[in-house]
């Protein structure tokens, strides 16, 4: 695709893009995932390839706007309800399989932003006997963990806080971004799963890029996975959610939202909580 990667730490990924049909960008909020998604779409455009974007924070609006979600599974303090996370997870693998069926034989690129942590599209990591699995486990699908160095992660978090102060909450997809407090909570939440899986921490608290990368490699052990370690910001203008030409978004339609909410409705609160808390057990 593009001969020139937008940053040195992306050169290996960019060199492999010609052979990829799907890139799944994984990891914590505030690490530059959305920016990488945008850069991948731009690279596809430069190579005259169409791209489809499936982003957790964007397509979540299909569920958040549903009347049953607002009454039964409301967002609290900026945290997506477990019921919505389970519903979205029950939909996403079928959506990936349907995209591959619709684009069989063409050169389109599917770009997915799937945090995984806390049960946010973590179903994509599971080895399941369904129509999506052959595509998700194929070499043509790359799972990319974005694990910035510690100093950069701190700068990104500070930038996130400044952006949320300056930008009105009522406009743009940025309103769906995790707050700095939620980012800290999610970062802390990695230590329990890492300890359970035998991954040692280098730092006693705070963001630990080695622990984070090691945990995500273990979670994604059924997938072709690479870890990128950004050490500097990629310069960007405008919103990271701006679509490139020849890009489209993948959404759930009303019928699909209804069906997925039925999956969540069939579980009680304990079952929903257990499902999302066990996101790392694949």
pLDDT band at 163 (very low <50, low <70, confident <90, very high): low
pLDDT band for 109, please (50, 70, 90 cuts).
very high
Report percent pLDDT > 70 for the chain. 86
Q: What is the pLDDT of residue 124?
A: 98
Write the DSSP string, the chain: --SS-SSGGGHHHHHHGGG-SEEEEES-TTSSHHHHHHHHHHHHHHTT--EEEEEHHHHTHHHHTSHHHHHHS--BTTBPPHHHHHHHHHHHHHHHHHHHHHTTTS--EEEEEE-BTTTBSGGGGS--SSSSHHHHTSTTEEEEEE---HHHHHHHHHHHHHHHHHS-TTSSGGGGSPPHHHHHHHHHHTHHHHHHTTPPPSSSSS--HHHHHHHHHHHTTTS-EEEE---SPPP--S-TTPPPTTEEE----HHHHHHHHHHHHTS-HHHHHHHHHTTT--
Q: Is the pLDDT of residue 210 over 70?
A: yes
Residue 12 CA from chain centroid, whole number: 20
pLDDT at position 174 is 47
Contacts of 69 (CB under 8 A, 6+ apart): 63, 81, 83, 84, 261
- In this prediction, residue 194 has a pLDDT band, given cuts at 50, 70 and 90, of very high
What's the predicted TM-score (pTM) here?
0.89
What pLDDT is attached to residue 32?
A: 87
Is the model's pLDDT at 43 over the cut of 50? yes
- CA within 13 Å, CB half, 33: 29
Which conformational region is residue 131 in: left (phi greater than 0), alpha (psi within -120 to 50 degrees), or beta?
alpha
249 bridge partner residues: 53
Is the confidence at residue 201, as pLDDT, over 90?
no
d(CA 1, CA 10): 13
3 has pLDDT over 70: no
37 — pLDDT class (breaks 50, 70, 90): very high
At residue 170, the pLDDT reads 41
Average pLDDT over residues 137-141: 98
User: Please, what is the average pLDDT of the chain?
Assistant: 89
| Per-residue confidence band for 41, with pLDDT thresholds at 50, 70 and 90 | very high
> What residues have CB less than 8 Å from 213, skipping those under 6 apart?
145, 147, 227, 229
Q: Is a pLDDT exceeding 60 seen at residue 171? A: no
- Return the closest-CA partner of residue 209 out of 160, 170, 151: 151
Window from 19-33, 185-199, 244-258 with minimum mean pLDDT: 244-258
20-45: b (≥16 Cβ within 10 Å) or e: bbbbbbbbbbbbbbbbbbbbbbbbbb
Question: Residue 161 class from Cβ within 10 Å (0-12 exposed, 13-18 middle, 19+ buried)?
Answer: middle
Residue 235 binned pLDDT confidence (cut-offs 50, 70, 90): low
Average pLDDT over residues 75-104: 96
**So what's the pLDDT on residue 135?**
98
30 pLDDT tier (thresholds 50, 70, 90)? confident
């Amino acid at each position: 695709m593009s001969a020139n990667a937008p940053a040195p730490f992306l050169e290996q990924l960019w060199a492999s893009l010609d052979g990829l049909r799907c890139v799944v960008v994984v990891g914590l909020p505030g690490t530059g995932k959305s920016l990488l998604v945008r850069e991948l779409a731009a690279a596809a455009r430069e190579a005259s390839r169409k791209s489809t974007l499936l982003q957790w924070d964007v397509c979540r609006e299909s569920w958040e706007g549903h009347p049953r979600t607002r009454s039964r599974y409301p967002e609290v303090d900026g945290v997506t309800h477990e019921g919505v996370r389970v519903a979205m997870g029950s939909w996403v693998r079928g959506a990936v399989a349907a995209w591959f069926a619709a684009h069989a034989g063409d050169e389109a690129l599917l770009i997915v932003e799937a945090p995984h942590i806390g049960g946010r599209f973590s179903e994509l990591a599971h080895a399941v006997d369904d129509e999506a699995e052959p595509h998700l486990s194929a070499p043509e699908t790359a799972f990319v963990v974005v694990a910035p160095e510690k100093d950069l992660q701190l700068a990104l978090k500070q930038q996130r806080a400044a952006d949320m102060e300056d930008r009105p909450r009522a406009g743009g997809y940025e309103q769906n971004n995790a707050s700095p407090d939620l980012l800290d909570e999610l970062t802390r939440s990695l230590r329990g799963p890492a300890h359970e899986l035998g991954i040692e921490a280098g730092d006693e608290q705070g963001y630990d890029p080695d622990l984070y990368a090691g945990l995500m490699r273990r979670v994604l052990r059924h997938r072709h996975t690479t870890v990128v370690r950004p050490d500097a910001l990629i310069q960007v203008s405008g919103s990271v959610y701006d679509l490139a030409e020849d890009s489209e978004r993948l959404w759930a339609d009303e019928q699909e939202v209804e069906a997925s909410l039925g999956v969540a409705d069939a579980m009680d609160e304990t079952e929903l909580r257990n499902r999302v808390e066990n996101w790392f057990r694949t």
